[in-house]
Amino acid sequence: MPKFTEDHEWLELDGDVVTVGITEHATVQLGDLVFVQLPDIGAKLAKGDGAAVVESVKAASDVFAPLTGEVVAVNEAIVADPAIVNTDPLKAGWFFKLKLADVGAFRDLMDEAAYKTFIGA
């Protein structure tokens, strides 16, 4: 089950690694993405650090590290074709994978019901 942040990111846990992307709500707010910049593999990120940048026809936004850890993979497909994030934000449009410093912190994030309440859905 994915978890969500107030910064409109989703996370899916597999062992001690989370896959991170932005929510469908975020893609609707941003509009069509035209550029994605991802973190470097091996980058150590603290919760709240700027991890990636997205630019759309409307605005540029940072994607923040939702938890503390080390980047172990990035999705180069969305760099080549940012529209993937708009068409499939919760699967093919993932941004990066983070090996967590503290797996327990994942439990503190919002579940889907809490996130839907947060965005007023």
Is the torsion defined by CA of 69, 72, 111, 81 positive or negative?
A: positive
Domains present along the chain, CATH in parentheses: 3-102 (2.40.50.100)
Please tell me the pTM assigned to this model.
0.96
Binned at pLDDT 50, 70 and 90, residue 79 comes out as very high
Residue whose entry in the numeric block shows the structure tokens 């992307």: 21
pLDDT at 92: 98
The mean pLDDT value of the chain amounts to 97
pLDDT at 121: 85
pLDDT at 103 over 90: yes
Tell me the mean pLDDT in the region 67-76.
98
> What would the two tokens of residue 26 be?
């975020």
Tell me the mean pLDDT in the region 63-80.
98
Tell me the mean pLDDT in the region 12-21.
98
